Amino acid sequence: MYNSIVSIDTENATVTAQGGITMRQLIDQIASKSLALTVAPSFDGVTLAGLLANGVHGSSLFGKGGAIHEYVIGMTIVTPASAAEGYSKLRILGSDDPDLNAAKVNLGVLGFVSTVTLQLEPMFKRQATMRVLHENDTGELVDEVNRISKSEEYGEIMWYPSLREVVYKYDHRVPVTTPGEGKNNYYGLQSQLATTVMVARLTEEAAEAVGGSKGRLMKCELALSTVTAQQTVAYGYQKNKNIDIPNIDIISVNITAVNVTKTFLNAFPVVGYQNDMATAGGCQRDLKPGFYCAWDQRVKGIVFFDAGIALPLRNLGPFLEDVRKLRDAAPAHSLCDMDIYTGFLFRFVKKTDTYLGTAQEDTVAVDFAWSRGNDGMTPRLDMDVFQELEQIAIDKYGARPHWGKNRNCAFEGVWKKYPKLLQFLDTKNRFDPSGFFSSEWSDAVLGLNGQGAPGVSTDAPFCAIEGNCNCVIDEHCAPQMNSFCRPGRVFTEARVCRSR
């Protein structure tokens, strides 16, 4: 498993751990020594080596920021070597080694990550409060997002554009003596009854089959039920971490807005230790019969595209204004699909010196998702809207795609957005000159494929349905199913698959 703690230095507040350790294992074990990692990703099931390969982050513009790799002060990596060297070489990277800036976000192409040393700090507590407000205008939203980024060390925002609702999370440190044994047990990452998981997906598919305005309204009803269910349990925040949150049937939930508001008023603030508040998970560890993660395909769970983009913070206002314009220009309720999946999630990542860190300047990390089809040839309802959102963010406003998320088309030409790419490639060429840890995909993403070699995008029928290309001709969509390549409604340079 290679998932153990190697050593904890309580005097210098550091930990060295093997690359296969999960975030939950790591933060709980260091907590037993009254130490904490300053930031953590949203999902506690990722491994240490895996999150560094992809540049995984939490949310913060304070101190070193929200990216976990900013707290790496050392690594050991096993790389290929000659026969005379025994075919492998252990490279020890200290905090002053320039190659560490390549290894901290490495795409898995430098070698096998053996151990990682992280800078920690004394254990502390956090206090989280969430507020649900009606969306008035995007200017007010931008102002509050900017205020939270500056005033709340761990602030986050969820915006449900079709429901016209905004959820602000105010999250900051409090003295460790502050009373509270709370926990972030985010509901979306807890195990669900198999019937709940299956019915959610079947409801989506029923809406797709109906199509048109009625299909959109069906998705809006599912979005409202999902959001209401999550707010009924305060998104899983618990004042007492030892009390299990109830399982909610999101399809049959019938709770008034007044009761949801009352639940929120009673649920917050929540105070707890950093290891209990910083990250969540659970379904991947739950062995109870009949319970599954919402995305588990053994019971035909939800299937979705996940767009994670690093948007320059300075471009947030214009981006949100374009989202509003697209919402107004598209058919009514077109964005309900994404509201089933938390709408827009905004988090913050500070500028980095790491060569392939997505935050090449102070960044708002924007996540949004929408339902994916059961095959790569059938158009989805309103998929043109989400394709345009992708292209607005990436092509118009210079966002960088998260290395561990997104569809293939988002990575087209991405290497051009990294000013220190050559420094990364220098390390890569020295660590693995034969490309043992590389692939056609990684070469394409890094701009290394020569003429005629496979690229990030493909040129084939239906390629835009799954995001293997941005459409150029109708055949990239599905003309035989009334889906054609058309300009975007707001960003006319975008090319999307739209039904007539």
d(CA 69, CA 291): 33
The crossing angle, in degrees rounded to 10, of helices 138-151 and 316-329 is 150
Asked which of 347, 367, 401 is the last residue of a domain, the reply is: 401
Average pLDDT over residues 336-351: 96
What's the structural domain count of the chain?
Answer: 3
Q: What percentage of residues in the chain have a pLDDT greater than 70?
A: 95
pLDDT at 212 over 50: yes
pLDDT of residue 251: 46
Q: Which of 229-238, 320-329, 448-457 has the lowest mean pLDDT?
A: 448-457
CA 401, chain centre distance (Å)? 10
pTM score, two decimals? 0.94
Q: Between these two residues, 400 and 135, which has the higher pLDDT value?
A: 400
pLDDT of residue 253: 46
Q: Between these two residues, 348 and 249, which has the higher pLDDT value?
A: 348
Confidence of residue 344 (pLDDT cuts 50, 70, 90): very high
- CATH number, domain containing residue 151: 3.40.462
Whether residue 270 is found in the same domain as residue 377? yes
Predicted confidence (pLDDT) per residue in 22-51, tens digit: 999 999 999 999 999 999 999 999 999 999
Residue that is written with structure tokens 């999946």 in the block: 341
Whether residue 422 is found in the same domain as residue 368? no
d(CA 240, CA 309): 34
Cite the beta strand spans of 135-269 per DSSP E. 156-160, 165-174, 183-184, 192-193, 237-238
Whether residue 294 is found in the same domain as residue 389? yes
pLDDT at 233 over 50: yes
Average pLDDT over residues 120-145: 92
Average pLDDT of the chain is 93
pLDDT at 9 over 70: yes
Whether residue 201 is found in the same domain as residue 317? yes
Q: Are 308 and 42 in contact (CB under 8 A)?
A: no
d(CA 232, CA 248): 9
pLDDT at 151 over 90: yes
Whether residue 434 is found in the same domain as residue 394? no
pLDDT at 246 over 80: no
Among 93, 98, 94, which Cα is nearest to 78's?
A: 93
Q: Strand order in 400-401's β-sheet?
A: 270-273, 125-134, 165-174, 156-160, 344-349, 363-371, 304-312, 400-401
Whether residue 104 is found in the same domain as residue 206? no
Whether residue 79 is found in the same domain as residue 208? no
Whether residue 319 is found in the same domain as residue 421? no
pLDDT of residue 1: 73
Q: Are 472 and 478 in contact (CB under 8 A)?
A: no
d(CA 220, CA 215): 9
DSSP three-state, residue 210: helix
pLDDT at 149 over 90: yes
Whether residue 75 is found in the same domain as residue 112? yes
Predicted confidence (pLDDT) per residue in 398-413, tens digit: 999 999 999 999 999 9
Q: In which domain, by residue range, is 492 found?
A: 410-499
pLDDT of residue 254: 47
Whether residue 327 is found in the same domain as residue 443? no
pLDDT of residue 252: 46
- CATH number, domain containing residue 104: 3.30.465.10
Residue that is written with structure tokens 């992280």 in the block: 118
Six token digits for residue 104:
């901290």
Contacts of 52 (CB under 8 A, 6+ apart): 68, 69, 72, 103, 104, 105, 106, 113, 116
Whether residue 434 is found in the same domain as residue 389? no
Whether residue 155 is found in the same domain as residue 282? yes
Among 291, 436, 491, 461, which Cα is nearest to 378's?
A: 461
What radius of gyration, in Å, describes the C-alpha atoms of the chain? 23
Segments in 348-449 forming alpha helices (H): 383-391, 421-431, 440-445
pLDDT of residue 139: 80
Asked which of 401, 418, 438 is the last residue of a domain, the reply is: 401
pLDDT of residue 248: 52
Predicted confidence (pLDDT) per residue in 365-395, tens digit: 999 999 999 999 999 999 999 999 999 999 9
Using CA atoms, how far residue 242 sits from 181, 272, 276, 278, 427, in Å, is: 9, 12, 11, 17, 47
d(CA 163, CA 370): 15
Contacts of 216 (CB under 8 A, 6+ apart): 207, 331, 332, 333, 334, 336, 381, 382
